[in-house]
Structure 1
Amino acid sequence: MTKNSQSIGIFDSGYGGLTVFKEIKKLLPNYDFIYLGDNARAPYGNRSFETVYEYTLQCVEWFFAQGCPLVILACNTASAKALRSIQQRDLVARYHDKRVLGVIRPTAEIIGDLTNTKTIGILGTKGTTTSMSYPIEIGHFFPDINVVQQACPMWVPFIENGKYHGHEMDEFIRDDLDSLFAQSTDIDTILLACTHYPLIQDKIRQYLPQNIRLITQGEIVAASLVEYLSRQHWLDEKITKSGNTRFYTTGVADDFETHGEVIFGSKVKAEHVNL
């Protein structure tokens, strides 16, 4: 494996993080990146806190072994269940010069400005919703916002298996949206709190009233990363900037390339890794 010792690491349990990485790459085209999808163990959404932490830490340490000084958890479940422990425990104890960031805080910092009714709907995995990370984080910045959550446990398996182009999952989408609005009719803004979900946002919109704002995280996280690097000069200076991007998966490389090219919007050449 050829090392680029100063790349930004982008992690997801599977393909979904590519929706975030695509936006990051637009804003930071000259930076070097490594993307890792833990496809062999996806989805993470229904796994326990302990298991998600274990898997995520393994992947983060793999990035560190490649020399990455910064890793982005482009996965809501990993951000919800593992990020805090990694930041407060593992970085402090063993990786003082490394940084790991997630997707929840950047979203929580701005989402309250996007609602007029002060009621936000969250669509996510079971792991993300049960963690209560979004209500807690949004509450820090916007204490007057009402956050309503709905777990969508079937969405990621459909997306990971490439079965989202037809109508196979439409019933699940409709039922989960009905369950969300059954909790509150005041919702005017919905966050897709899983990086896989932008791949089906057109389907989701079919079952939403036109006045509902649908928020995806890619542009939010990308803009937040740019701002973060502008403040952390010591870290930004470490990252090499030759425009190189490499993709890895714990699953089947050919499958990753096929699905990844559709999501990422350009050719993806992947290598298999064992963790």
Structure 2
Amino acid sequence: MNQPIGVFDSGYGGLTVLREIVRKLPQYDYVYLGDNARTPYGPRSFDTVYQYTLECVRHLFDRGCRLVVLACNTASAKALRNIQQLDLPVLAPGPSGPSRRVLGVIRPTTEVIGHYSRSGHVGILATRGTVTSGSYPVEIEKFFPGLRVYQEACPMWVPLVENGEYASAGADYFIRQHIDRLLGPAENIDTLLLACTHYPLLFDKIRQFTPAGTTILTQGGIVADRLADYLDRHPEIDVQCSRGGERVFLTTDSTEDFDRQAAVFYGEPVRSAHLSL
């Protein structure tokens, strides 16, 4: 039976994470599921994000996935803990814990972010839902209790990316606005985390309006490295993940629209299938 690694996102952004995972671990099979019909997740309530995410995780389990990565900061912030604590013991019971696993993108990032900062001051650029959840300050405190964390919600950035305006002159105002709001009261920030998987497409613009010497972190490479480490430490999960180099892409919305946009995020042509939930 094919047992791919599942990668879930509310839309396209998770493809920037999948791209780096595939680059790091090309031997595995992967299924990517984008819930484009119900995106964006950011403004939705915790309960709604939890229910939507759980539906998608269940579908990936039904397709044989033993391991699912929530490549979405909002889903990781609002749904991951409930799924891990409440649902996995029921959906995938095992003799020594759940036989299937669901991971997010927040924990891998917060485990390493403090290593990049010299000043001890870091900034988080994210969607409003992720900022409101408080997940990043809480998780960073566990690993780097002395680190000062500043957050800025950037509600216009995802629409800029999804409407193809991420490299346009029109994006400059919104990029500069949020960077100035974040850095203005906290001049000691020397490390910025792009805590939304859409934001890597804005990297060049963000660099343009960020002081020289500032470290700008994207999540794809970090998550890929931590996933490789996780599989090394959990051979009981690793051995169940099939290795055929197969890539499957699913969307809950138009496949034509998905394929066109996905190619930008993934970096190569994509052919998807429609999924009804």
1:101 aligns with 2:99: no
* TM-score normalised by structure 2 residue count: 0.96
Instruction: Give the aligned partner of residue 69 of structure 2.
Output: 72
CA distance in 2, matches of 1:126, 1:78: 13
SS at match of 2:146: coil
Q: Which runs of 4+ in 1 moved over 4 A?
A: none
**Match for residue 52 of structure 1?**
49
Correspondences of 1:1-275 after superposition (within 5 Å): 5-96=2-93, 97-275=99-277
Q: How far apart are 1:141 and its partner, in Å?
A: 0.5
Equivalent position SS for 1:169: helix
- Calculate the aligned-residue CA RMSD, in Å: 1.1
> What amino acid sits opposite 1:234 in the alignment?
E
The alignment partner of 2:151 has SS state of strand
CA distance in 2, matches of 1:231, 1:187: 34
- Alpha-carbon distance in structure 2 between the residues aligned to 1:140 and 1:267: 40
- Per-residue deviation, residues 107-161 of structure 1 (Å, max 9, x unmatched): 1011101101100000000111111111011100000000000000111122123
User: What is the rounded CA distance, in whole Å, between the counterparts of 1:213 and 1:79 in structure 2?
Assistant: 24
The equivalent residue for 2:96 is none
Q: Distance in 2 between matches of 1:99 and 1:183?
A: 40
Instruction: Give the Å deviation of 1:262.
Output: 2.1
1:5 and 1:242 map into 2 onto residues whose CA distance is 9
Instruction: Say which SS state the counterpart of residue 86 (structure 1) adopts.
Output: helix
Post-superposition CA distance 1:172-213 (Å, at most 9, x none): 111111111123111000000001100111011111111211
**Residue ranges of structure 1 left out of the alignment (5+ in a row):** none
Q: Could you tell me how far apart the structure 2 residues matched to 1:267 and 1:30 are?
A: 19
C-alpha distance in structure 2 between counterparts of 1:162 and 1:85, whole Å: 34
Percent sequence identity over matched residues? 55
Q: 2:38 and 2:31 mapped to 1: Cα distance?
A: 19
Aligned residues: 272
Tell me how far 1:165 sits from its aligned partner: 3.0
What is the letter of the counterpart of residue 200 of structure 2? P
More moved, 17-26 vs 88-97:
88-97
- SS of 2:189 mapped into structure 1: coil
1:134 and 1:105 map into 2 onto residues whose CA distance is: 9
User: How far is the alpha carbon of 1:227 from its aligned partner?
Assistant: 0.6
How far apart, CA to CA, are the structure 2 residues paired with 1:173 and 1:40? 27
Contact 2:16 2:197 in 1 (8 A): yes
Name the SS of the counterpart of 1:255 in structure 2.
helix
Task: Kindly indicate whether the alpha-carbon contact (under 8 Å) linking 1:43 and 1:157 is maintained by their aligned counterparts in 2.
Answer: no
> Would you say the 8 A contact 2:107–2:139 is kept in 1?
yes
The one-letter code of the counterpart of 1:36 is L
| Paired residues of 1:148 and 1:183 also in contact (CA < 8 A) | no
